[in-house]
């Protein structure tokens, strides 16, 4: 069962409060409710203050049970959270509707919201490429400076630029229009074009599109493309076009067939006819840790063999290193580089290209959301080791310096400010939850005493110590302070028949718990005794837990 839409905080989760699964049956709800009622019933306490606090907690448990025990209320809560139970939430659907009808109503409203979002979505994409000619840094001739006292500074210039942008305009659930345009300039001359593409999804197995374009370089363009899934493991695309220019009409066509060779491997066969006719076959293997491509092309004017390999590190920055070799009639090119995620929406990549007769180039790429920024830097037309060294070491040293001095401090400051704001916003609520938890612990004392006596008589489950919150176990973070609360009493109170079962939900909503470190990763650590033997376990905040277990047993030496 899905979590509620716009769900309330974990501490307000009715399922967590009753310690039941979201798929809990009426019998499971009733058993948990009766257990908590016996614990919090006001008539069990003579002290006026304890009686008042017990009454508040009793009413909270009663409210949770009333909502989850009623199929209609439960359906509303599952879809909309506690807000859906208020007057405004009930106005969304008629009270007489069944849970199934409520879900259908919600799905209808969700489809309407999706339609509105579809109409508002444009999905802009853009590319900016700035080509830099830095050959004067390495290709200068000594005789050019014989007559110049002290020489002169090397000349570095921008010799080409390219800008392209596209936006999508959803027309219906199946039809989309894409408008794109580009401008290019190279050594003082350039031009641009504009394209309109109309795409229709014909079925779950295919789609088709029509393309119209015009520009001051190539002239009008008309094209058509179709995609079709032939089998669950095979698909193909086909396209054709007409390019109009002062030299006449240039037709072109291409088709590609792809097939899953295994779970991680794809095979492609492509044929292209036109001004650059060619046939290409390739094999691509993509796994969790690597990406490999082998391609062979026979065509006019270029034929080549290409191999590339990329290794993916399993770190939070999604670091990748890659290398490729491409050889053909045009010469040979070797490329190597790296790519890394530098923020939530940004990826930075650098590639060094060394080839004959191209020379040495450095390509920098920054992806920011749906925008791409390219900076190809041509260093030399020759194969100079010095150019290759500086193209490799320069970007690496600059990246490390910027990451250490600017990016890391900035990201750390941003996270600290965000965490501070979350804590300030929830301070009042957390203080209330803390007071409720402390009251619950006081009300549990008598029940816990009886449970421990019963468990000790049969050498059952005794919770010796239990902590919940943020633990610091990494030596590199020894300056950080652990933020935990003692939850020994609340967990012992949940023990029944020498078993403790916690459902797959955040523990902050359990009776006697609260969140001691808002916005930070939390865990539950238990030290318990069963059959006279010590056990210990560390569980994630949202992990289900069932004890005792043999795997938690501690050795006698420990």
DSSP bridge pairs for 196 = 179, 212
Phi-psi region of 436 (alpha: psi -120 to 50; beta: other; left: phi over 0): alpha
Residue 316 contacts by C-beta under 8 Å, 6 or more apart in sequence? Answer: 341
Q: What is the pLDDT of residue 5?
A: 42
Q: Is pLDDT above 70 for 188?
A: yes
Q: What is the pLDDT of residue 246?
A: 79
Pick the more confident residue, 558 or 439. 439
What are the structure tokens assigned to 181, written together? Answer: 């345009």
Q: What is the pLDDT of residue 479?
A: 53
> What is the rounded distance in angstroms from the CA atom of residue 293 to the CA atom of residue 281?
11
Q: What is the DSSP letter of 480?
A: S
Taking Cα atoms as reference points, which of 275, 269, 315 lies closest to residue 295?
A: 269
> What is the rounded distance in angstroms from the CA atom of residue 284 to the CA atom of residue 29?
52
Q: Is 127 helix (H, G, I), strand (E, B) or coil?
A: strand
Q: pLDDT (tens digit, 9 = 90+) per residue, 203-232?
A: 989 999 999 999 876 789 999 999 999 998
* Number of Cβ within a 10 Å radius of residue 370: 12
Adjacency order of strands within the sheet including 533-540: 483-486, 461-470, 523-530, 533-540
Q: pLDDT (tens digit, 9 = 90+) per residue, 8-21?
A: 444 457 887 888 88
pTM score above 0.85: no
Q: Is pLDDT above 70 for 126?
A: yes
Taking Cα atoms as reference points, which of 396, 290, 404, 284 lies closest to residue 337?
A: 396
DSSP bridge pairs for 194 = 181, 214
Angle at 276 (CA atoms; ends 270, 277), nearest 5 degrees: 45
Of all residues in the chain, what percent carry a pLDDT higher than 90?
41
Q: Where are the alpha helices (DSSP H) in 373-463?
A: 385-402, 408-457
Q: pLDDT (tens digit, 9 = 90+) per residue, 58-99?
A: 888 888 888 888 887 787 777 667 766 654 444 445 544 566
Q: Is 54 helix (H, G, I), strand (E, B) or coil?
A: helix
By the 8 A CB rule, do 210 and 224 touch? Answer: yes
SS (H, E, C) 301-337: CCCEEEEEEEEECCCCCCCEEEEEEEEECCEEEEEEE
By the 8 A CB rule, do 229 and 235 touch? Answer: yes
What are the structure tokens assigned to 247, written together? Answer: 């030299």
> What is the rounded distance in angstroms from the CA atom of residue 505 to the CA atom of residue 397?
45
Pick the more confident residue, 421 or 185. 185
Q: What is the pLDDT of residue 8?
A: 44
> What is the rounded distance in angstroms from the CA atom of residue 70 to the CA atom of residue 168?
45
Cα–Cα separations (whole angstroms), residue 279 to 46, 294, 426: 89, 14, 62
By the 8 A CB rule, do 372 and 365 touch? Answer: yes
**What own/partner pairs with CB < 8 Å and gap ≥ 24 does 217-224 have?**
217/191, 217/192, 217/193, 218/193, 218/243, 218/245, 219/243, 219/244, 219/245, 219/246, 220/244, 221/193, 221/195
Q: What is the pLDDT of residue 30?
A: 86
What is Dmax (Cα atoms) for the chain?
Answer: 105
Taking Cα atoms as reference points, which of 540, 483, 556, 533 lies closest to residue 506?
A: 540
Beta strands in 143-188 (DSSP E): 157-170, 175-186
pLDDT band at 312 (very low <50, low <70, confident <90, very high): very high
Q: What rounded mean pLDDT belongs to the chain?
A: 84
Pick the more confident residue, 308 or 91. 308
Taking Cα atoms as reference points, which of 395, 350, 338 lies closest to residue 376?
A: 350
Pick the more confident residue, 96 or 400. 400
């Amino acid at each position: 069962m899905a979590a509620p839409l716009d769900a309330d905080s974990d501490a307000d989760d009715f399922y967590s409060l009753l310690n039941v699964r979201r798929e809990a049956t009426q019998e499971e709800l009733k058993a948990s409710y009766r257990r908590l009622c016996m614990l919090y019933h006001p008539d069990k306490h003579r002290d006026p203050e304890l009686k008042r606090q017990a009454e508040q907690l009793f009413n909270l448990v009663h409210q949770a049970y009333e909502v989850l025990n009623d199929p209609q209320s439960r359906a509303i809560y599952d879809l909309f959270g506690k807000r859906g139970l208020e007057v405004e939430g009930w106005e969304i659907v008629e009270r007489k509707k069944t849970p199934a009808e409520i879900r259908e109503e919600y799905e209808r409203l969700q489809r309407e919201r999706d339609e509105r979002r579809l109409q508002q979505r444009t999905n802009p994409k853009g590319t900016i490429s700035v080509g830099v000619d830095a050959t004067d840094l390495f290709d200068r001739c000594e005789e050019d400076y014989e007559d110049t006292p002290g020489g002169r500074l090397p000349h570095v210039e921008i010799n080409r630029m390219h800008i392209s942008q596209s936006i999508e305009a959803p027309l219906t659930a199946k039809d989309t229009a894409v408008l794109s345009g580009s401008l290019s300039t190279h050594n003082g001359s350039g031009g641009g074009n504009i394209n309109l593409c109309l795409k229709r999804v014909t079925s779950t197995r295919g789609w088709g599109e029509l393309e119209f374009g015009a520009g001051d370089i190539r002239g009008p363009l008309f094209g058509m493309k179709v995609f079709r899934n032939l089998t669950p493991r095979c698909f193909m695309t086909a396209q054709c076009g007409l390019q109009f220019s002062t030299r006449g009409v240039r037709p072109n066509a291409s088709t590609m067939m792809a097939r899953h060779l295994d779970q991680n491997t794809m095979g492609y066969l492509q044929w292209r006819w036109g001004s650059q006719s060619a046939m290409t076959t390739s094999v691509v293997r993509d796994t969790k840790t690597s990406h490999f491509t082998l391609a062979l092309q026979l065509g006019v004017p270029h034929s080549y063999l290409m191999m590339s390999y990329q290794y993916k590190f399993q770190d939070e920055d999604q670091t990748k290193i890659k290398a490729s070799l491409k050889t053909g009639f045009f010469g040979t090119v070797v490329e190597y580089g790296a790519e890394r995620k530098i923020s939530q929406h940004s990826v930075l990549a650098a590639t060094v290209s060394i080839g004959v007769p191209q020379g040495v180039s450095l390509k920098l790429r920054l992806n920011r959301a749906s925008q791409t920024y390219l900076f190809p830097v041509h260093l030399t037309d020759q194969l100079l080791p010095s150019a290759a060294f500086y193209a490799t070491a320069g970007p690496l040293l600059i990246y490390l310096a910027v990451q250490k001095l600017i990016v890391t401090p900035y990201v750390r400051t941003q996270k600290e400010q965000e965490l501070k704001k979350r804590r300030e916003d929830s301070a009042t609520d957390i203080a209330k939850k803390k007071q409720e938890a402390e009251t619950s612990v006081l009300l549990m004392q008598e029940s816990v005493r009886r449970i421990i006596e019963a468990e000790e008589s049969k050498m059952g489950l005794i919770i010796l110590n239990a902590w919940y919150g943020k633990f610091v176990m990494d030596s590199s973070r020894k300056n950080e302070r652990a933020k935990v609360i003692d939850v020994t009493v609340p967990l012992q109170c949940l023990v029944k028949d020498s078993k403790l079962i916690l459902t797959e939900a955040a523990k902050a909503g359990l009776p006697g718990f609260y969140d001691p470190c808002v916005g930070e990763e939390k865990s539950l650590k238990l030290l318990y005794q069963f059959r006279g033997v010590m056990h210990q376990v560390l569980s994630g905040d949202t992990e289900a837990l069932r004890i005792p277990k043999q795997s938690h047993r501690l050795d006698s030496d420990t």
